[in-house]
C-alpha cells in the first residue's frame, strides 16, 4: 500500500549524480521533497550536485546498486515515498566499456530497488529506453511495438538489460507488489551532458566549439528525435504522480525527428562554426531511425514536449560555451 503523507515527500533517486538524475533532483528539491541520491559516480559527477552542498533535504550515498543496498536505506525506519531508478550509463561508449556491469546494473539493481519499494510501500519509476525497440521495423514507435533488438550485439548489455528491468517491474506490478511505472526515454539532451560523453549532441557541440572535426557516423542519414531535458523531467514527475491505471510503459520523447546531418548543420549554424565534417564507420546495430509515438503520454499524463529544438540547442550550446571558457582558465595553484 502506498504511503499517504501530508508533509514533503521523500524520494530516492538512483543515478542522481548523472545528467538526467541531477536535473530530477533539482526539480524534486524545488518541489519541497527530501531527496536521497544513490550513485556509484561511474558517469555521474560531483559538480552536477554542487548546488546541494548546503541543502539539508539532500543526501548523497555513494554506492553501487548491484551491491547489497546500503543499510541507511534498507534498515532505516524513515519512510520513502518514491524511488526513481535512473542508474545506468546511457552513452554507448560508456555502457559498452563494462558490459557485464551495465547488464547487472539494470537487472540486479532494478530487482533490489523494486524490493526496497515493496518494503517501503514506495512508488517506483524505471528509466527505460527507446533502445528496447532496437532498430525498429515500425515507425514511429508506439509502446505496443515489441522491438527488433540484437540480443548478442555490443548494444545488448544495455538494450537487453533494460528489457529485463522492464520485465521485473512488470512482474512486480502484476503481483501487486509495487506500484511501478516504466518510462521509455528517447534521446534527451541539455546542460550537464558530459563533454566527453560520446553522445551525438554533446560531441557535435564540443567539436564545433573547439574547432575539431565533427564526426558523423555512417552516412548521417540515420534519424533521432531529441527531447530537451526540462520537458523530460516534467514527464517523469507526471508519470510518478499519475493516479490513472496505466496500460504499460510510457514513451517520453520529442516526436520532432531529424537526421544526424541535419543536427550537425543546426549546431554549426547556431555556433557560427566552420569545422570540417568527417565520416566514421556506423557503429554495429546503430538504429536507422527513431521517433516516439507519444499518444499514451498525451492521453494519460497530459504531457507533450514544449521546448523547441532551436531553443534547447541554444541553451545546451550556452552551457558548453560557459564551460569551455572555464577550461581555458589557468589551473589553480
> Which residues bind to ligand NAD, rule: CB under 6 A?
15, 17-21, 39-44, 64-66, 86-90, 105, 109, 127, 129, 185, 187-188
Give the integer Cα–Cα distance in Å for 122 and 153. 35
Give the integer Cα–Cα distance in Å for 156 and 164. 11
Closest to ligand NAD by CB, 132 or 178: 132
Q: Is 158 a catalytic residue?
A: yes
Q: Could you say which of ligand UDP, ligand NAD, none residue 37 binds, taking C-beta under 5 to 8 angstroms by partner kind?
A: none
Residue 296 as a binder of ligand UDP (CB under 6 A): the answer is no
Closest to 235 measured CA to CA, from 221, 248, 254: 254
Closest to ligand NAD by CB, 44 or 305: 44
Q: What is the secondary structure of 71-99 as a DSSP string?
A: HHHHT--S---EEEE--S--SHHHHHHSH
Closest to 235 measured CA to CA, from 294, 178, 189, 180: 294
Minimum CB separation from ligand UDP for residue 143, in Å? Answer: 18
Residue 286 as a binder of ligand UDP (CB under 6 A): the answer is yes
b (16+ CB within 10 A) / e for 51-71? ebeeeeebbbbebbbbeebee
- Binding ligand UDP (rule: CB under 6 A), the pick from 107, 216, 233, 268 is 216
Total residues contacting ligand UDP by CB under 6 A comes to 14
Q: Could you say which of ligand UDP, ligand NAD, none residue 251 binds, taking C-beta under 5 to 8 angstroms by partner kind?
A: none
- Binding ligand UDP (rule: CB under 6 A), the pick from 70, 79, 195, 283 is 283
Closest to 48 measured CA to CA, from 15, 28, 19: 19
Q: Could you say which of ligand NAD, ligand UDP, none residue 66 binds, taking C-beta under 5 to 8 angstroms by partner kind?
A: ligand NAD
Judge contact between 114 and 125, C-beta under 8 A.
no
CB atoms within 10 A of CB 156: 20
| The one catalytic residue among 158, 228, 300, 319 | 158
Q: Could you say which of ligand NAD, ligand UDP, none residue 286 binds, taking C-beta under 5 to 8 angstroms by partner kind?
A: ligand UDP
Give the integer Cα–Cα distance in Å for 133 and 142. 9
Minimum CB separation from ligand NAD for residue 69, in Å? Answer: 10
Residue 153 as a binder of ligand UDP (CB under 6 A): the answer is no
Closest to ligand NAD by CB, 47 or 322: 47
Give the integer Cα–Cα distance in Å for 119 and 41. 26
N residues, the chain = 333
Q: Could you say which of ligand NAD, ligand UDP, none residue 86 binds, taking C-beta under 5 to 8 angstroms by partner kind?
A: ligand NAD
Residue 251 as a binder of ligand UDP (CB under 6 A): the answer is no
Q: Which residues are catalytic?
A: 158
Amino acid at each position: 500500500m502506498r504511503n499517504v503523507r501530508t508533509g514533503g515527500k521523500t524520494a530516492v533517486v538512483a543515478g542522481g549524480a548523472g545528467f538526467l538524475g541531477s536535473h530530477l533532483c533539482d526539480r524534486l528539491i524545488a518541489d519541497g521533497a527530501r531527496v536521497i541520491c544513490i550513485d556509484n559516480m561511474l558517469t555521474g559527477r560531483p559538480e552536477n550536485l554542487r548546488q546541494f552542498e548546503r541543502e539539508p533535504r539532500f543526501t548523497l550515498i555513494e554506492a553501487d546498486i548491484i551491491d547489497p543496498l546500503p543499510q541507511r536505506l534498507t534498515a532505516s525506519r524513515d519512510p520513502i515515498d518514491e524511488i526513481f531508478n535512473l542508474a545506468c550509463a546511457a552513452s554507448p561508449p560508456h555502457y559498452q566499456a563494462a558490459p557485464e556491469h551495465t547488464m547487472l546494473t539494470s537487472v540486479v539493481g532494478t530487482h533490489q530497488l523494486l524490493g526496497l519499494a515493496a518494503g517501503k510501500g514506495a512508488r517506483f519509476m524505471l528509466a527505460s529506453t527507446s533502445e528496447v525497440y532496437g532498430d525498429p521495423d515500425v515507425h514511429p514507435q508506439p509502446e505496443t511495438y515489441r522491438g527488433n533488438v540484437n540480443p548478442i550485439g555490443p548494444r545488448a548489455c544495455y538494450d537487453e538489460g533494460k528489457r529485463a528491468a522492464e520485465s521485473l517491474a512488470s512482474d512486480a506490478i502484476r503481483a501487486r507488489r509495487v506500484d511501478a511505472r516504466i518510462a521509455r526515454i528517447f534521446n534527451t539532451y541539455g546542460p550537464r551532458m558530459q563533454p566527453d560523453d560520446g553522445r551525438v549532441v554533446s560531441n557535435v557541440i564540443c567539436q564545433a566549439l573547439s574547432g575539431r572535426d565533427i564526426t558523423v557516423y555512417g552516412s548521417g542519414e540515420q534519424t533521432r528525435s531529441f527531447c530537451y531535458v526540462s520537458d523530460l523531467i516534467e514527464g517523469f514527475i507526471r508519470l510518478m504522480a499519475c493516479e490513472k491505471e496505466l496500460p504499460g510503459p510510457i514513451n517520453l520523447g520529442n516526436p520532432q525527428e531529424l537526421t544526424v546531418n541535419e543536427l550537425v548543420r543546426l549546431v554549426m549554424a547556431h555556433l557560427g562554426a566552420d569545422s570540417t565534417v568527417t565520416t566514421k564507420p556506423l557503429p554495429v546495430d546503430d538504429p536507422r531511425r527513431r521517433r516516439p509515438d507519444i499518444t499514451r503520454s498525451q492521453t494519460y499524463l497530459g504531457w507533450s514536449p514544449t521546448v523547441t529544438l532551436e531553443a534547447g540547442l541554444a541553451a545546451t550550446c550556452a552551457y558548453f560555451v560557459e564551460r569551455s571558457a572555464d577550461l581555458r582558465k589557468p589551473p589553480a595553484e
